[in-house]
């Protein structure tokens, strides 16, 4: 499957224009830039809403984003631009924290002295046998304990190299919404953070996450929101996926990720002397992110549940059924069923985020749903392109056999040119058939492995081995 261009034209205007701004400023690959934007959308919105699927199931709207990119692709620069509202919010929280701590310590000191006084009264009443005073004091003490001042907490939205347990503890004890985000994903994928993939899956699914410890500090992380977004180099990703002990595919972790492997722009990022771009569209996106973040931080009630319009439901069902039909044996998604099975749900999450960022009210529209299914399908095809098993046709297999035979003949005889009839007679067994040989030679020529020649003096068909074929395998892409 070829590397299809990112469908940026279908994205909502506020998202599309911000990606254009950052793409122009950084000259990073568009899918990598889009990953940064989607990460910001997810982190800002995830704790304010859920979305109800047309089948009645209510799911979270947070995203897991995984981008395969080499070092130097400017992922960190892209992240800094899109994550600015979160860094600003964290700095503001830190600035206000000292004052809040002073207020807390004063209130807690008063609360502590009042508790000591009540306990002294309770102890004296028990010693004197004054049952009525003891009961009333105990009731007052119970109420007092419920009014214990709450220690202020600094706001930290972005976590780096953390274990699943540390992520869960942060969400449980500090902020109910955070993102595990890194441009050095190899440290995470092949480090401690991947020690418990099912725990991370629980945050994508929206289920309770149980953390069991040997001591008495076990806890349940309930109704918490996690965005997961990393960039990883190919070598680290390959180690993570292909390790014999890896359960990345089996447990469904990779299937939950919006995965992309963009074509690098390195070697094409030329400097120019024009004025630095103003990034006006990025600023609009940042402002909207800050607005949503501020709104979601102030929400203490249950999350709102977004729903679809009638036409949007039909579009979601159409897409889900289309993907399902392509999961049948031999169909294009038959060997990536893990990713395909999550694609319709990814589309619903994307639609909800588009709806929120466009500041829409009411049900999610058909137009937004179409944008979301188009984008979800791009990510599914990218997942299939990178993780599906190679599909080698008979012509490809025969061509590879002939290619190997020609190289072996050259190494033995130092001959670049071979008669076609000689291959038909002495070549690989599978190609000792005129029609199969013809198709295999045409395939081999199409990838530059050989040239087909004609001896004008004898009319003999010849095959000339490409000298470059001795340095590389032209079928590597298969």
Tens digits of pLDDT across the chain (478 residues):
456 789 999 999 999 999 999 999 999 999 999 999 999 999 999 999 999 999 999 999 999 999 998 888 888 899 999 999 999 988 887 766 667 777 777 888 888 989 999 899 989 988 888 888 888 989 998 899 888 887 666 678 888 767 777 888 888 888 889 999 887 766 666 665 566 788 889 999 999 888 877 666 788 888 899 999 988 888 888 878 877 666 777 788 899 999 999 988 888 788 776 666 789 999 999 999 999 988 866 544 578 999 999 999 999 999 999 999 999 988 889 999 999 999 999 999 999 999 999 999 999 999 999 999 999 999 999 999 888 876 667 788 788 888 888 888 887 888 889 999 999 999 888 788 889 999 889 888 887 788 899 988 888 999 998 765 444 343 333 2
Domain boundaries, the chain: 8-93+153-387, 394-470
**pLDDT at 379 (0 to 100):** 96
Distance, CA of 44 to CA of 35 (rounded, Å): 14
Contact 266, 69 (CB under 8 A): no
369: which 2 tokens? 């749903």
Please, which residues have CB within 8 angstroms of residue 312's CB and are 6 or more apart in sequence? 351, 363, 364, 365, 366, 368, 369
Contact 33, 231 (CB under 8 A): no
Is residue 398 within a helix (H) or strand (E), and if so which, with residue range? Answer: helix 394-413
CA-based torsion, 243, 248, 249, 254: positive or negative: negative
Distance, CA of 461 to CA of 223 (rounded, Å): 72
Output the DSSP codes for 124-167: HHHHHT-HHHHHHHHHHHHHHHHTPPPPP-----EE-S--HHHH
Task: Find, among 466, 402, 464, the residue nearest to 431 by Cα.
Answer: 402
Contact 377, 436 (CB under 8 A): no
Output the DSSP codes for 302-358: PPEEE-B-HHHHHHHHHHHHHHHHTTSTTSTTTT-HHHHHHHHHHHHHHHHHHHHHT
Distance, CA of 193 to CA of 253 (rounded, Å): 13
Question: Angle at which helices 13-26 and 337-357 pack, to 10 degrees?
Answer: 100
* Domain 394-470 fold: Arc Repressor Mutant, subunit A (1.10.10)
Distance, CA of 379 to CA of 7 (rounded, Å): 10
Question: Angle at which helices 75-128 and 131-146 pack, to 10 degrees?
Answer: 170
Contact 383, 332 (CB under 8 A): no
407: which 2 tokens? 């190289």
- In this prediction the pTM is 0.73
Task: Find, among 449, 447, 446, the residue nearest to 463 by Cα.
Answer: 449
**pLDDT at 360 (0 to 100):** 95
Phi and psi at residue 26, in whole multiples of 5°?
-100, -20
């Amino acid at each position: 499957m070829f590397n299809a261009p990112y469908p940026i034209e279908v994205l909502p205007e506020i998202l599309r224009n911000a990606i254009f701004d950052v793409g122009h400023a950084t000259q990073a690959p568009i899918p990598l830039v889009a990953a940064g934007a989607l990460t910001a959308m997810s982190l800002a919105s995830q704790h304010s809403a859920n979305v109800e699927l047309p089948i009645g199931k209510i799911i979270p709207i947070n995203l897991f984003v995984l981008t395969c990119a080499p070092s130097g692709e400017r992922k960190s620069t892209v992240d800094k631009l899109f994550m600015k509202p979160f860094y600003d919010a964290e700095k503001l929280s830190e600035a206000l924290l000292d004052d809040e701590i002073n207020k807390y310590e004063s209130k807690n000191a008063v609360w502590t002295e009042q508790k000591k006084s009540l306990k002294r009264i309770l102890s004296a009443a028990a010693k004197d046998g004054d049952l009525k005073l003891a009961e009333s004091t105990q009731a007052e003490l119970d109420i007092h304990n419920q009014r214990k001042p709450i220690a202020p907490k600094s706001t930290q939205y972005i976590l780096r190299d953390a274990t699943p347990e540390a992520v869960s503890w942060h969400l449980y004890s500090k902020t109910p919404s955070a993102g595990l985000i890194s441009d050095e994903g190899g440290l995470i994928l092949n480090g401690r953070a991947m020690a418990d993939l099912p725990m991370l899956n629980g945050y994508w699914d929206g289920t309770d996450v149980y953390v069991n410890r040997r001591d008495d500090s076990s806890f349940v992380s309930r109704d918490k929101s996690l965005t997961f977004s990393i960039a990883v180099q190919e070598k680290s990703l390959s180690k993570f996926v292909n390790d014999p002990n890896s359960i990345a595919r089996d447990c469904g972790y990779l299937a939950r990720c919006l995965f992309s492997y963009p074509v690098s722009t390195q070697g094409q990022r030329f400097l120019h002397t024009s004025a630095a771009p103003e990034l006006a569209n990025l600023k609009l996106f940042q402002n909207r992110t800050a607005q949503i973040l501020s709104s979601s931080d102030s929400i203490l009630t249950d999350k709102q549940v977004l729903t679809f319009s009638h036409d949007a439901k039909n579009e979601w069902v159409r897409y889900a059924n289309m993907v399902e039909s392509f999961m049948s044996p031999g169909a294009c998604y038959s060997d990536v069923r893990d990713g395909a099975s999550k694609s319709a749900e990814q589309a619903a999450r994307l639609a909800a985020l588009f709806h929120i960022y466009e500041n829409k009210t009411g049900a999610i529209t058909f137009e937004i749903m179409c944008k979301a299914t188009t984008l979800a399908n791009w990510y599914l095809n990218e997942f299939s392109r990178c993780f599906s098993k190679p599909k080698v046709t008979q012509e490809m297999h025969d061509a590879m056999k002939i290619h190997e035979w020609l190289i072996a003949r050259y190494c033995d005889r130092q001959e670049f040119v071979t008669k076609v009839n000689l291959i038909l007679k002495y070549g690989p067994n599978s190609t000792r058939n005129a029609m199969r040989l013809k198709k295999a030679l045409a395939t081999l020529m199409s990838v530059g492995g050989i040239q087909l020649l004609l001896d004008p003096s004898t009319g003999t068909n010849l095959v000339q081995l490409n000298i470059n074929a001795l340095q590389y395998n032209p079928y590597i892409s298969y």
